[in-house]
Amino acid sequence: MEDELDWELDEDLEMVESQLNTQNSVHDRTQFESKFDFELTPSQHQGKNNYEVDMYLFFPKAVGVTSESYPREAFYGDTTHLLRVRTPELKRGRGNTFATPRLNSVEQYFKHHLDTSQRDRLSQLVVHDTKLFGCLVYTELKRVRSDLARVIKRATNNQNPDLVVRFHSRLMSRVESVHSAVRQYRERYVWPLKTEPLLVDDEVRRALLLVDEYLSYRLESSLIALHRLVEPYGQAVEDLQHQVEALLTGELEYRNEHVQAAAERVEARVETYYYRLGLLKKYVSEVLFLQTKRINKDYVYRNFVAAFGAALAAAFAVLTNVQTTRMMVNKEDWGFRIIAITMLGIIAYVFKDRIKDLTKEYFNSRLKTWLPDYDVQMFYTHFDAQGKSANAYLGSSQETVRYLQRSSLPPDIDYLRQLGHRAELEPERFETVLHYNKRMRFEIEQSLRDHFGQAEIRRIHDVLRFDVSQFLAKMADPRQKLSYFNAEKGILTTEAPRVYHLNLVFRYRVSHTQEGKQVSHASDYERLRLVLNKKGIVRVETVVARGELGQEEGLELNHRGELPPMVALHPLRLVPSRAGL
């Protein structure tokens, strides 16, 4: 019976993912981070998934943000984008354990190491598979930590510590399965590389050894995190603690004996040590990153508008010349006509350039409202089992940034911004509204499988970081003196924190198209408050969590019994959002 309960607990830990997963957090003191997971292809039927993310930033007037002081180019300069495929998952073993995959490309490479042409054909594939293996193992380590943290949270909420005790034996099996994968990697590929007379290209040798070092440090940091999580449960999980300590001891001994760089860093500064860990992470994870081609759409349509304005100016000049010629042919009233001809020449000369410039300004301002600023084409370097690589086209990402007047805000966004305000006594807020829009269009006709373990690449992981450093200069000191009167102690003076609120409203839209027609559409919302002071980000507060409010076509309103004013204006009606949007 207890074993059945353990299996049920494992099944409970399976994450039910939506088509668009999101996570917003503070990356560091000056950077806010949003993470998006986009599902590439629909899981149930053929078609295409389209996604749209809207981020509305409500800047307080005190930070001095305007379209002149902070143009959209500055916004793009303050954002960092990281686009990659999410680590594909392999089939799991009994008890949710990690099934160790074989690196067939490495084995083939070792087998044909005397054949130069075979080595050349397989070398890039071997490097790719080796790095991907490192990513798979580290992703499994993160999953083990995450599952333990969720069990601890559930045990705390239910006041039932036995849940952790019951789960820890299952956890031991999973930890051992990961360690077994690392051990087999070393026995099959690293040890022959060091002990057998194999002809190996430098890049292949580097990949095999650096991934080995990377996994050793990742295993160490993950085991330490597990040990700290279970420490409060004492003797009930003592066997797990002993297992973790034994593995940590073994990893330390292995690095000291077999990892050359580890011995060199025994006396190194912590800075140097941490810097190398960062380099190892970048080296291994680069196998997941996409190749992108960024097209500045502003440059394209500006040239088009300039050409159109020049054509209008030329047309005006030609018509003026025709009229001038006609007047010169007719010689009656020659004195008056010479004055008119002179005036027409001056007008043609002056207005030709003005027509061109005014046309460009007018159409530029109009086109900006619906044309994207950038169009990012996304490609993934994909290998087949024979070592041939190709850049698989995944789709495009379009980005737009615009300043909006408060009166022109969409009704649903304005409703969310006002949600929770006390109407009569609330002071009026003077804010500048910046709208960032991101549209993802995936155009994959078939599933994208990596030959390595036949793991399917299902999701694109997009990280957006927004730097707030530019807004800190105009803020007041983080501590301000505040005097007040106390009936018992008289006039008192204290220090009060001086903070600013940057409100963010997110709208997430997911639509599915089939044969060029939209067959489904849903929206979800989230509102956050970024609390800032002159030193940077203090914290992020959730005002409306994702999952509390959403929209779907044809469904009736039911949100806390309230009727938002936007319902009569917006074609979609509010409904409780579902987690699996």
pLDDT tens column, 216-257: 999 999 999 999 998 988 888 889 899 999 999 999 899 888
User: Which pTM does this prediction carry?
Assistant: 0.78
Residue 450 near residue 128, CB atoms below 8 Å: no
DSSP assignments along 424-442, one per residue? TTSPPP-EEEEEEEEEEEE
Residue 265 near residue 276, CB atoms below 8 Å: yes
Q: How far apart are CA 109 and CA 129, in angstroms?
A: 12
**Closest to 148 measured CA to CA, from 36, 71, 240, 63:** 240
Convert the pLDDT of each residue in 134-166 to its tens digit: 999 999 999 999 989 988 988 888 888 888 888
Mapped onto helix, strand or coil, the DSSP state of residue 498 is coil
Convert the pLDDT of each residue in 385-402 to its tens digit: 777 888 888 888 999 999
Convert the pLDDT of each residue in 265-307 to its tens digit: 555 567 777 888 889 999 999 999 998 888 875 555 555 555 5
Per-residue confidence band for 494, with pLDDT thresholds at 50, 70 and 90: confident
557: its two tokens: 């309103």
Question: Residue 540 pLDDT more than 80?
Answer: yes
pLDDT at 576: 41
Convert the pLDDT of each residue in 405-458 to its tens digit: 888 899 889 888 888 665 555 666 788 999 999 999 888 766 677 777 667 788
pLDDT at 16: 59
pLDDT at 248: 93
Domain boundaries, given as residue ranges, for the chain: 2-83+389-445+456-575, 94-289, 297-367
305: its two tokens: 């508008």
pLDDT at 577: 40
Instruction: Report how far apart, in Å, the C-alpha atoms of 7 and of each of 10, 65, 226, 316 are.
Output: 5, 55, 21, 81
Question: Residue 119 pLDDT more than 80?
Answer: yes
Convert the pLDDT of each residue in 24-37 to its tens digit: 999 999 999 999 99
